[in-house]
Amino acid sequence: MTPVEKAAAMSQATRDVVILALSGIRQRHPDASDRECFIRLAALQLGPTLVRQVYPDAAQILGPHM
């Protein structure tokens, strides 16, 4: 496998993981808006503390402590 093929495979794997994570979020929060799903995914990836600092509406979605 060439380096370009490896990079493409890793990119696809990353996309697949994000899709699975979003699917889980939507399953746990079926009435969530796209924005809420985005915030929840960001909290999984970056941690809730950083997400609350970066996105002002995150505290309303995640609560004061996640």
Contacts of 64 (CB under 8 A, 6+ apart): none
The pair of three-digit structure tokens given for residue 12, joined into one six-digit string? 């696809």
Q: Which pLDDT value is given to residue 64?
A: 81
| pLDDT above 70: residue 58 | yes
pLDDT tens digit sequence for 15-52: 999 999 999 999 999 999 999 999 999 999 999 999 99
Per the structure, the complete domain to which residue 8 belongs is given by 3-62
Report whether 40 contacts 55 (CB < 8 A). no
Spatial distance between the Cα atoms of 33 and 15, rounded to a whole number of angstroms: 20
**Domain count within the chain:** 1
| pLDDT above 90: residue 2 | yes
